[in-house]
Amino acid sequence: MLDFTQYGAGSLSESATAVATPDREHPLLDAYSNAVIGVTERVGPAVVRVETGDRTPGARSRGGLGSGIVISPDGLVLTNSHVVGVSRQIRLQDIEGVVTDARVLGVDPDTDLALLRADGARDQRYASLGNSRHLRRGQLVVAIGNPLGFESTVTAGVVSALGRSIRSVSGRTIEDVIQTDAALNPGNSGGPLVSSAGEVIGINTAIISGAQGICFAVASNTAQFVLSEIIRHGYVRRAYIGVSGQTAPVPRRHAVVAGIDNKMGALLAQIEPDGPASRAGLLPGDVVIKLDGVAIHGVDDLIRVLDRDRIGRTLKMDVLRLGRLREIDIHPVERKTVKQ
């Protein structure tokens, strides 16, 4: 739509001033454009298209499509676990159209990340993982990927918020998630979120259907942790006690009698037979309020505390049972993981 307001009432000199104003803003717009262009030229060649599924005509399996980022010259690629799924046939296509097969080194549904290796790939263009702890709200970020199948698409925006939590496909919460307004669409999943310095500070993972400008990326520091665990063990090690439960309120009278501050706790609904919780004497209906000195205000807190550092250790667990506080010793084991 044309805007003729600048040519309304007023002298010719005023109109000339109004027309000349954008010229003074030109250097600022150029700086923004140059930043996005620089990031795109630096990181764009390291972004690959990730295809899964059998391409044989008539095959029943339906392939998926996403993005990935090469993080080493020997072909290590980070993407989303939901892009890979259970597929064993992975193909990567780079910006020049070169297609190569890839194999899955490991997946971590709890953080929606997967690590691939391109077969026979050497001296590939790659990008570096940055430190997501240095991010600030309002910071310029660029998302690169293949939304809806459109290759090498670039969108720009800002870091809208830091430290978000979202639910992964496994039900576990992904912590320290970056929220951005850089436009993402199906196919962007697994692609990089890049800072103006050309460092990958997130792996794009989720959008909210129906919302505009609310997109999420797994922080690069989380990706670095998952990457190191998969390279070392083939999966991410986490502790396990054999319970299922839900977040539940702690009655005020019980909290007063027990001398605790918790308003919420992790209510145990089921105890796995012969699991660590069963052997420790935990019962359905117990409410966990503290584990290894860390206050538990819900199931998410309990899951978060059960990390690799607590595997094989005897921990103190405080639970409310029929309104009375009990201290129980529990010995978490390593969670069994189905390997690819």
**Exposed e or buried b per residue across 276-307, where buried means at least 16 C-beta atoms within 10 angstroms of its C-beta:** bbeebebeeebbbbbbbeeebbbbbbbbbbbe
Q: Is 82 a catalytic residue?
A: yes
- What is d(CA 102, CA 82) in angstroms, rounded to the nearest whole number? 16
DSSP classification of residue 98: -
Other CB atoms closer than 10 Å to residue 200's CB: what's the count? 26
- Which among 261, 274, 262 is positioned nearest to 333, based on CA atoms? 274
DSSP classification of residue 39: H
DSSP classification of residue 302: H
Q: Is 67 a catalytic residue?
A: no
- Could you tell me the CA-to-CA distances from 253 to 261, 263, 285 in Å, in that order? 11, 11, 17
Catalytic residue among 67, 81, 82, 286: 82
- What is d(CA 4, CA 117) in angstroms, rounded to the nearest whole number? 57
Token pair belonging to 110: 């709890």
Catalytic residue among 67, 168, 189, 195: 189
Catalytic residue among 94, 108, 110, 112: 112
Other CB atoms closer than 10 Å to residue 244's CB: what's the count? 12
Q: Is 134 a catalytic residue?
A: no
Phi-psi label, residue 200: left if phi above 0, alpha if psi -120 to 50, beta otherwise: beta
* Residue for token pair 């309120």: 249
Catalytic residues: 82, 112, 189
